[in-house]
């Protein structure tokens, strides 16, 4: 009996195990591991609700995947990877989705660019779109077309009820919006998409319109409802252009997003009934960082926290625009019936009301309200700039720190404010007059957005961060050493050594060349250029002398040039304590020559001497399409001697009237310009020619026997400060255009230099005349 019982138990156990095996087998039959595109296409064709298609680990190169099918809410069809981070789509690859209840999880796009107009698109065609689908835990990392001005998008969202969440999106550098919500068909309107918990990593300044990070709708569909929720995303230095987010449709919501050191604003460009609620804007005092720009009707801006924002005009911490009377949807619809309530501004420099007021934008805001906001600044007293009448705005119960000026007598109260750091690390204003302020626990952080298995660390290598490599004088020793150098290295030249270049030095990663010792090493070159900055390169030159006496007899030589091809990477150029001389073997011998499609974050020329040169120091004027594009964001020229220069010291050009970019920024300070601009080949006929530059600080300079300083001012309200400059025996300052500028203390004194130098003698009328109390011209006391 006992044996029979044991046998029965054994048989029952085997039956259970066999049943379990069948169930496991059935479940596994829905998990399809594919190793190439053919297998993927077959799996997609045969996929049923609940199936999972898994890409095998490895590099999938030049693959265009179309993931289509019809899952259900309970049983979606999933596309995923064998191991997250171990599957990459590279080369010319992309992904299209079409169907219902699809999930894409864990793809990585890198080392290439899309062959079409989008990396990931939630539609196969205008008729075949994705609904009720999800894109999650995916990465797009520097997946850029190498041609800077070729447009594409990274993620295009169509259909309805789709969720885009926990993705890592970093490093878009070519033309085109990073992520768009399209409304070009009825099937994609009133879509109720949710975009949440994504990490939008750094996007460098593009230098033209078309560098937004997120755009919902377009001007063509401005009055269509999108009903998109953008929630708890982290925007980390997304600096492509002025509009970080460009809202161009109705009834969208932006909540709990964090904008970290972003040079731009969340812009309600078109469309009505937008809600901007509970977002955080952190500037940390970085230039041009902004908050919210309000345009159009029935907008609501509430419960947002702003700190350390420095942007002005359209990049202010808060900007309420003027509008165009009877405006079409694609221009500037006046602000009507909008509310700005319960927002906090700490150490933010500019609140702009009726911004953009001009002959076209002549309608001030109406029936709108600014109430219960808190304004605190530890050093400024005047935050508000008003460009038109504000009688259409009701101000109520706004709290100001004691040191701040009231905008109006009514609607503002001054009180003593103390800042207290909360548990989240935010400085919270406290006072008996202030109700407790809180930041939502749903606020985006770098840690709770994106994916956990992909690094958010910056990959850019800084100049001077690598090893010091000593190089002997000789022929092409610089060329040879660069071939084995690494990003950030410092190439150390011998004091007084002579280096001859017969092959141009290609700089394709950050490098510094400097003389170790007091006596400068000398660089001569027999090519049309000594250094060519290529894609990925940045260059610093310190304490080096460049002699053009051995350069070829070619028109168009230069010491430094950029690649002749488009460069997707922005570069930096620093020149400090260098000498450039005897570059007259032919006409038009420039120090720096750039090409169209190249862009510098910073060009800084300081403490250097330029003498006997037939061309220009820098002609940054290759973007001539007049669409607001330019070649450099920040240009600094300080404490230099420039003498016997046939061309112009600087030609800087930004054409057109597009308002999506806010550069270039120019500082020219404490220089001596002597005998500059008189060459027959100087087509600019000026010692310095500036066109459309947005921020101009030109001060404490001596122009001696030079052509004119020529400025043409266009685009709304450039900042132009011309302070304490001396023009002796020189052509007068020429300013054209329709914009205002500030000029103070322009003299025409004989500078009385010490003989054979450009130092001021004790009897010079320019001693102590600089804005900083030093002498005009070069800084002898630094």
Give CA–CA dist 149/169, Å, rounded.
20
Largest CA distance in the chain: 127
Span 77-103, average pLDDT? 98
Nearest to 79 by CA among 114, 24, 36, 31: 31
pLDDT given for residue 29 in this prediction: 42
What are the structural domain ranges in the chain? 265-443, 460-595, 616-782
| Distance in angstroms (rounded) separating the CA atoms of residues 340 and 304 | 10
Cα separations (Å) of 115 from 112, 120, 597, 748? 9, 11, 20, 60
- DSSP state letter for 37: H
User: What phi, psi does 778 have (nearest 5°)?
Assistant: -70, 150
Kindly report the average pLDDT of the chain as a whole number. Answer: 94
User: Which 3 state secondary structure label does DSSP give 9?
Assistant: helix
- Give the pLDDT band (50/70/90) at residue 608: very high
Q: Which of 265, 332, 263, 262 is nearest to 297 (CA)?
A: 332
Confidence of residue 11 (pLDDT cuts 50, 70, 90): very low
**pLDDT tops 50 at residue 273:** yes
Residue 15's pLDDT band (cuts 50, 70, 90): very low
Contact at 8 Å (CB) between 533 and 562? yes
Q: What is the mean pLDDT of residues 301-330?
A: 95
pLDDT recorded at residue 21: 33
Confidence of residue 781 (pLDDT cuts 50, 70, 90): low
Cα–Cα distance measured from residue 338 to residue 354, given in angstroms and rounded to the nearest whole number: 13
Q: Are 348 and 309 in contact (CB under 8 A)?
A: yes
Section 237-247 average pLDDT: 96
Where residue 28 falls among pLDDT bands split at 50, 70, 90?
Answer: very low
pLDDT value at residue 659: 81
Q: Output the pLDDT for position 780.
A: 82
Length of the chain: 782
Give which of 558, 547, 770, 543 is closest to 671, Cα–Cα. 770
Contact (Cβ atoms closer than 8 angstroms) between residue 595 and residue 631: no
Q: Are 304 and 346 in contact (CB under 8 A)?
A: no
Averaged pLDDT for residues 324-336: 93
Interval 33-52: pLDDT, tens: 999 999 999 999 999 999 99
pLDDT computed for residue 111 by the predictor:
98
Average pLDDT over residues 568-577: 97
Average pLDDT estimate for 312-317: 92
Average pLDDT over residues 706-718: 89
Q: How far apart are the C-alpha atoms of 502 and 276, rounded to whole Å?
A: 59
Per-residue pLDDT at 25 exceeds 80: no
What's the pLDDT at 660? Answer: 76
Q: Which residue has the higher pLDDT, 682 or 657?
A: 682
Is the per-residue pLDDT at 23 higher than 50? no
- What whole-number percentage of the chain has pLDDT above 70? 96
pLDDT above 80: residue 17: no
Amino acid 170: pLDDT: 98
Whole-prediction pTM value?
0.93
Instruction: Give the whole-angstrom CA distance, residue 190 versus residue 246.
Output: 18
The pLDDT confidence band at residue 718, using thresholds 50, 70 and 90, is confident
Whole-Å CA distances, 497 to 471, 514, 545: 10, 12, 10
- Supply the pLDDT for residue 19: 38
Structure-block tokens of residue 670 = 């404490």
User: What fold does the segment set 265-443 form as a domain?
Assistant: Pectate Lyase C-like (2.160.20)
Average pLDDT of 13-20? Answer: 39
The pLDDT confidence band at residue 428, using thresholds 50, 70 and 90, is very high
Q: How confident is the model at residue 16 (pLDDT cuts 50, 70, 90)?
A: very low
User: 10 Å Cβ neighbour count for 18?
Assistant: 10
Q: What is the pLDDT of residues 720-772, one digit of tens each?
A: 999 999 999 999 899 998 888 999 999 999 999 999 999 999 999 999 999 99
């Amino acid at each position: 009996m006992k044996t029979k019982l044991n046998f029965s138990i054994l048989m029952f156990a085997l039956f259970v195990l066999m049943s379990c095996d069948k169930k496991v087998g059935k479940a596994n039959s829905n998990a399809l591991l594919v190793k190439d595109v053919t297998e993927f296409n077959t799996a997609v064709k045969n996929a049923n609700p609940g199936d999972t298609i898994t890409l095998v680990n490895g590099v999938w190169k030049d693959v265009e995947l179309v993931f289509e099918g019809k899952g259900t809410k309970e049983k979606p069809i999933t596309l995923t990877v064998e191991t997250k981070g171990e599957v990459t789509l590279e080369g010319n690859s992309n992904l299209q989705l079409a169907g219902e209840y699809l999930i894409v999880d864990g793809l990585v796009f890198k080392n290439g660019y899309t062959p079409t107009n989008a990396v990931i698109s939630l539609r196969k065609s205008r008729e075949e779109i994705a609904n009720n689908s999800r894109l999650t835990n995916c990465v797009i990392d520097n997946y850029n077309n190498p041609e800077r001005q070729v447009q594409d998008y990274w993620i295009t969202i169509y259909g309805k009820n789709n969720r885009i969440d926990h993705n890592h999106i970093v490093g878009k550098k070519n033309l085109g919006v990073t992520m768009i919500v399209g409304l070009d068909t009825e099937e994609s309107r009133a879509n109720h998409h949710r975009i949440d918990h994504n990490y939008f990593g750094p996007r460098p300044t593009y230098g033209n319109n078309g560098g937004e990070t997120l755009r919902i709708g377009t001007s063509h569909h401005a009055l269509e409802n999108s009903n998109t929720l953008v929630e708890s995303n982290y925007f980390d230095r997304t600096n492509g252009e002025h509009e970080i987010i460009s809202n161009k449709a109705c009834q969208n919501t932006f909540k709990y997003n964090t904008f970290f050191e972003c040079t731009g604003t969340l812009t309600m460009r078109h469309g009505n009934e937008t809600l901007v609620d509970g977002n955080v804007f952190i500037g940390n005092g970085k230039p041009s960082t902004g908050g919210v720009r309000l345009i159009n009707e029935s907008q609501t801006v509430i419960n947002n926290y702003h700190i350390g924002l420095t942007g002005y005009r359209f990049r202010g911490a808060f900007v309420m625009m003027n509008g165009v009377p009877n405006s079409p949807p694609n221009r500037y619809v006046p602000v009507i019936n909008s509310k700005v309530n319960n927002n906090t501004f700490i150490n933010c420099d500019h609140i702009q009301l009726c911004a953009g007021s001009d002959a076209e934008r002549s309608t001030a805001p109406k029936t709108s309200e600014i109430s219960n906001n808190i304004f605190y600044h530890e050093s400024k007293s005047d935050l508000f700039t008003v460009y038109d009448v504000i009688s259409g705005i009701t101000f109520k119960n706004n709290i100001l720190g004691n040191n701040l000026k009231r905008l109006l007598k009514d609607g503002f109260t001054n009180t003593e404010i103390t800042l207290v750091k909360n548990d989240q690390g935010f400085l919270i204003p406290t006072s008996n007059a202030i109700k407790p302020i809180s930041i939502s626990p749903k606020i985006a952080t770098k840690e709770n957005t994106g994916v956990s298995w992909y690094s958010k660390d910056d990959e850019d290598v800084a100049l001077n961060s690598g090893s010091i490599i000593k190089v002997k004088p000789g022929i092409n020793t610089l060329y040879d050493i660069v071939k084995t150098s690494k990003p950030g290295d410092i190439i150390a030249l011998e004091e007084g050594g002579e280096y001859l270049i017969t092959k141009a030095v290609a700089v394709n990663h950050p490098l510094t060349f400097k003389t170790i010792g007091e006596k400068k090493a000398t660089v001569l070159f027999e090519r049309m250029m000594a250094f060519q900055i290529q894609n990925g390169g940045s260059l610093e030159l310190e304490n080096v002398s460049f002699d053009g006496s051995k350069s070829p007899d070619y028109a168009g030589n230069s010491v430094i040039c950029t690649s002749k091809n488009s460069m997707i990477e922005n570069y930096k150029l620093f020149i400090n304590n260098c000498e450039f001389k005897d570059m007259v073997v032919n006409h038009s011998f420039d120090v720096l020559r750039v090409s169209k499609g190249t862009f510098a974050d910073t060009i800084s020329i300081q403490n250097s001497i330029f003498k006997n040169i037939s061309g220009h120091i820098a002609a940054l004027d290759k973007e001539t399409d007049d669409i607001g594009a330019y070649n450099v964001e920040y240009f600094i020229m300080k404490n230099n001697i420039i003498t016997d220069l046939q061309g112009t010291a600087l030609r800087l050009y930004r054409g057109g009237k597009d308002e999506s970019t806010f550069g270039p920024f120019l500082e020219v300070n404490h220089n001596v310009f002597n005998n500059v601009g008189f060459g027959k080949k100087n087509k600019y006929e000026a010692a310095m020619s500036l066109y459309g530059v947005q921020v101009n600080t030109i001060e404490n300079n001596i122009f001696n026997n030079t052509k004119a300083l020529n400025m043409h001012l266009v685009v709304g309200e450039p900042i132009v400060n011309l302070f304490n400059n001396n023009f002796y025996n020189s052509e007068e300052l020429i300013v054209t255009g329709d914009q205002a500028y500030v000029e103070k203390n322009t003299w025409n004194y004989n500078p009385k230099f010490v003989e054979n130098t450009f130092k001021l003698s004790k009897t010079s009328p320019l001693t102590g005349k600089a804005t900083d109390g030093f002498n005009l011209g070069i800084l002898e006391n630094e």
